[in-house]
Structure 1
Amino acid sequence: MKVTFGNVQFGKATLGSALFYAVNVTVSSSLIGLVVDRAWASFADGPWDPLLYGESSDLIFPAACLLVLTAARLILPPAPRWKAILVDSSLYLLTLLICYGAGSLADGEGVGTAFGGAFFVALLSLFTLQLPAAWALIAWATGHLDPTAPRGEQSPASSPVGSLL
């Protein structure tokens, strides 16, 4: 999908490729986190009760992450693979923090409690292997994105975001 606004072109990966990439990363890492969370909780003297995806509001994160990662691959300029991995990994973690922090604020908790709760969920996501799985899937899946144009025709300068990266 290409959208032209003046002389600036957006759309550095095909829509289908970017959507498949985002679904693969988001759904797979969320399922890994869910399975490991339930496995930890299944022990009689397990370290915790199941915490991830226990409420319907917990499904906001996968939906938001799907949108953020798809938009990132469509809008951001082509970059070396290592840079795309760093950007998308950071976006995944930032989306996780924002979704759970905003959810806590919406439940009426204070800013400090919401901030701390969001980082607690991020730490929990490390223990349940959701974040490491997401980072590994991002590293793998960035190599399978289909660009919209040959590399010679793509330039980071063709996007207003290119100067930031």
Structure 2
Amino acid sequence: MRKIVLSFLTLLAISCDKNDNTPDCSAVDCISLAIYVKLINSKTSNNYIQENNLTSDNISIINVNNESISFFILPESESIYNKTIAIVPNQLNQTISVENLTEILLLYEITPPKTNSCCDFGDIENLEVTSEYSFEFDDNVNMLTIYI
């Protein structure tokens, strides 16, 4: 009888879930927070990256500490993200350099997550662009469109 009670208590202890109000995100695949930068030729209204066959070799992004920021160019598609630059944001200002264009300085803030859910990484707020180019930011999809 003692072995049965001990076995039951051991099983109960093993099966107990922690109760710290954090969700189990082990089976969730989240898309991380990103800023998507679309460059549009203001004369032709075409995607500048696509129009000029630019690759990541023609673009660099650095922060104020002169450290490279990882980014990639999304592939050609029918979506709004066609040939956009995807940048994983950090709290440091970033300068985008594109071959044959004036540098573009990005300033923004990342808010803390609003919920305790698995895929809440916060939001991008107070985005400012310092450049000679006009721009617009759609905060619903984190798309920064810059008119070259």
TM tier, shorter chain? under 0.3
Larger CA Rg, structure 1 vs 2: 2
Structure with the higher helix share, 1 or 2: 1
Name the structure, 1 or 2, with higher relative contact order (CA <8 Å, separation 6+): 1
Give the structure-2-normalised TM-score.
Answer: 0.28
